[in-house]
Structure 1
Amino acid sequence: MVVIPPFGYWKDKNTNEILMIPEAADTVRRIFQLFLDGMTLMPISRILNQETRKTPAQFQMELYGKKKPDIRQFLWSYTSVKNVLQDESYVGVLYNHQDEVRDGKRFRKVPEEEWFRHENVYPPIISREDWEQAQALLQKQRRKRAKSNAPCHRYAGLLSCSNCGAPLVAINRYWNGTCRVEYICKTYMRHGKDTCTSHRIREEKLDTMVWELVSASRESRAEEQNKLAQMQKMWALRKPILDAHILLLQKRIQKLEQEIDGIVMEHIQALSNINLKANGI
């Protein structure tokens, strides 16, 4: 059975034994401790970055030479913390047969009920009780977040940071008893000022900018329509004159064509007379 150890473990190629990495295991315990103490995922990621704890990408680079060119891979984020909390490997469980492969490529994702579950494959880092308590808290937060995210912000997915290119995400700000929506760089929100600046923009300002742009576009379109109407009116006034002029030119062309035909016939007749005289007729 091929086993690729998750974050916190490494595999001895000589003995095929899966061993714990003390530094990474301590980070895993730290994450579970902070989460079970009531801290949410984003603050946990900031604490891990402040403590300069290595990420899974850094350990992969050191152990297997897998280089990650994106500096954001070396910072803890909401997603990387959540992945650790959800991973049952830290209580010793291994799942395989999660994908079906054909010709070296993944063919389909296998339903979870068809996975193969193996106990006591990894040295446990977290107790079963702590892991199950963490899953219950994650499930509770998931239901709460799904309910609170029901309204969709109107500029979601349309804005990006001019510095790092990351999307701008909507957050609610409460000030003097009122709630306002602001859009902030996702990189800054997840990793702090070390990766991007704290620029943001209010939704009402975006509304004003969009309205000004739409109004200017509408006014420009109205001016173009007025110009087109004036051109149509001028054409309607000049059309009879132009039609008469065209008719006159057509008659002149017809007369010139008749004159040309006459001249051609005269030349043909003259050439015929010359040929008759040359032949003595």
Structure 2
Amino acid sequence: MSRFGREYLQVGYYTENYFPDHNVRFIAINDNVDCVDGATDMDDFIPIKNIMNELYAKDISRKVRSAHNTRGRAGEPLSQPPYGYVKDPQDKKRWIIDPEAASVVREIFKLYLDGNGEDTIARIMQEEQHLNCTAYWASKGINRGGKKSQPNPYKWKSSTIHGILTRQEYCGDVLNFKTRSKSFKNHRRIDNPKEDWMVFEDRHEAIIERDTYQKVQKRLKSTHQRAPKEINGPKSIFCDILRCADCGSKLWYHTNTQNRDIHYFSCSNYVKDYRGTCLTRHYIRADAVEAVVEMELRRLAEYLIADENRFAEILARRSIKQVESEKKTVQSELRKSEMRIEIIPKLLKTLYEDKLSGKASEDNYCVLSQEYSDEREQLQKKILKLRRKLTEMGEKENEREEFIHAIRKFMEMRTLTKQVLNELIDHIDVYETQGTGKNKTQRLVIYYKFVGYLDINPTQCHPNYTADIREGVAIEYVSCEPSDSLKELFSEGYNADDDSFEEAKPEQA
């Protein structure tokens, strides 16, 4: 029981309520607990044992905190060394300079004193191909915190630069008790007020001279932070819906600094504005997006009114086709996983026999058996996930009705709202503009909830619209022609010589 948990309320909830309700058999041999029976001779004493286990953990925490406090008051660094330092191999309680990282720290301080801002310094660090802190530690085999999924290891953030510029440890000082936790049950760190910090000066070699550090702090205090941008007005209903068609990143919402009436979106991964990897900006006006989406939803509503049965048939066939394709993929993955998990015990048996016969060394046996065990555990989780996914694929009828209901709601409101948008649209891919002047075009691909990309027969409703989005500016919305899959649905009335049904895939629209 003590290995399961040392928080008596949570342990009691799981053993007495959650596990029995979910048919989970919990066994603790030493404590004579087996929830398959519902009761044992020791059941009446289990809550008391749980309390004792928690008291034991609390006592250990008290002793650890006491030792931690003693070391901290003696000037021993309690935290991990910051970027620029490493632990001394001869004395783990001391920090020594990491020459490679320390040179980057010195350059950051120099650039700031030369008049560069934090964001500018971050841009320079990226252009000079300096690994950011997390990537640098990873390259040295040091396991530290930070975002591990950053695709560009050379991308620095202004917040990282600010953290380096405000680190007093670079003067050779040790700062203890900067944070604390509420209790041994809650490990979230809370900032302590500065008067509770303990500062020990000149405990290790300095990377930055104290005079230089003081100059930087003085300039940081005199630099006024820009107020939050409240001038953008209310958040656009298309925030978190628009995506870059090239890199898949979200499009960020902006307000033009010269004309506050102009609101637009651009790729959050744009290489010039945000030091990302996307080569084009994917600029699009917010009012243009709203006009296009509203016109497209109007086409859906008109088609629903004109032929509701056929519209429902399109949704049904599209969803069934999509589900069947996805179902085949899931079933294939499930078969592969089940076959593999059946083979692993045989591989372990063969490996054990090779070890006994001397064909495999003890070290190789330990490594390979652990790898097989880990693989089996991962496969078990994967099989459960795939089976759960298969059971969820049969519930599509309700989703189709909800989709039609959302279109009817739009028909009644005649205006776009965030709620209707979320009920109908999954996301919208925005492509880079093509052409110039009056010939400028931009492709948008709308992916709906439940059905994904949806083709609509242009002969059944308006193929294009024109809308005035602002004074002197109008956009013409031209819908794509149906794909081959949609032509099959209308095969009874399809004429191969009809230009309106000329083959054109959605990618070419």
Are 1:172 and 1:181, in contact at CA under 8 Å, matched by a contact in 2? yes
Query: Hey, what does 1:5 align to over in structure 2?
Result: 81
The equivalences for 1:197-236 within 5 A come to 197-202=279-284, 205-214=285-294, 217=297
Q: Which one has the bigger helix percentage? A: 1
Are 1:5 and 1:18, in contact at CA under 8 Å, matched by a contact in 2? yes
TM-score normalised to structure 2 length: 0.37
AA aligned to 2:190 is K
Distance in 2, Cα, partners of 1:119 & 1:99: 21
TM-fit CA distance, 1:207: 0.9
Q: Does 1:78 align with 2:176?
A: no
Are 2:130 and 2:154, in contact at CA under 8 Å, matched by a contact in 1? no
Identical positions, percent? 22
Query: Hey, what does 2:104 align to over in structure 1?
Result: 27
Distance in 2, Cα, partners of 1:167 & 1:112: 38
Distance in 1, Cα, partners of 2:247 & 2:176: 37
TM-fit CA distance, 1:218: 5.9
Distance in 2, Cα, partners of 1:140 & 1:227: 67
TM-score normalised to structure 1 length: 0.62
Distance in 2, Cα, partners of 1:136 & 1:160: 42
**1:134-184 CA-partner distances (Å, limit 9, x unpaired):** 3344445453x116x23235339534444444443355667xx76755533
SS at match of 1:200: coil
Structure number, greater radius of gyration? 1
**1:77-103 CA-partner distances (Å, limit 9, x unpaired):** 323222212222222333332022644
User: Where do 5+ consecutive residues of structure 1 fail to align?
Assistant: 229-281
Distance in 2, Cα, partners of 1:63 & 1:105: 31
Counterpart among 46, 65, 72 of residue 123 in structure 2: 46
Distance in 1, Cα, partners of 2:307 & 2:244: 39
Q: Does 1:196 align with 2:275?
A: no
RCO higher in 1 or 2 (8 Å CA, sep ≥ 6)?
A: 1
SS at match of 2:265: strand
CA RMSD of aligned residues (A): 3.5
AA aligned to 1:12 is D
Distance in 1, Cα, partners of 2:117 & 2:305: 57
**1:228-253 CA-partner distances (Å, limit 9, x unpaired):** 9xxxxxxxxxxxxxxxxxxxxxxxxx
AA aligned to 2:114 is D
Do the aligned partners of residues 72 and 116 (structure 1) sit closer, same or farther apart at CA in structure 2, a change above 3 Å counting?
A: farther
Are 2:171 and 2:210, in contact at CA under 8 Å, matched by a contact in 1? yes
Q: Does 1:89 align with 2:169?
A: yes
TM-fit CA distance, 1:109: 0.8
User: Where do 5+ consecutive residues of structure 2 fail to align?
Assistant: 1-75, 309-509
Do the aligned partners of residues 220 and 167 (structure 1) sit closer, same or farther apart at CA in structure 2, a change above 3 Å counting?
A: closer
Do the aligned partners of residues 217 and 161 (structure 1) sit closer, same or farther apart at CA in structure 2, a change above 3 Å counting?
A: closer
**1:84-138 CA-partner distances (Å, limit 9, x unpaired):** 1222222233333202264475155143233333322342222333333333444
Q: Does 1:109 align with 2:190?
A: yes
Q: Count matched residues.
A: 220
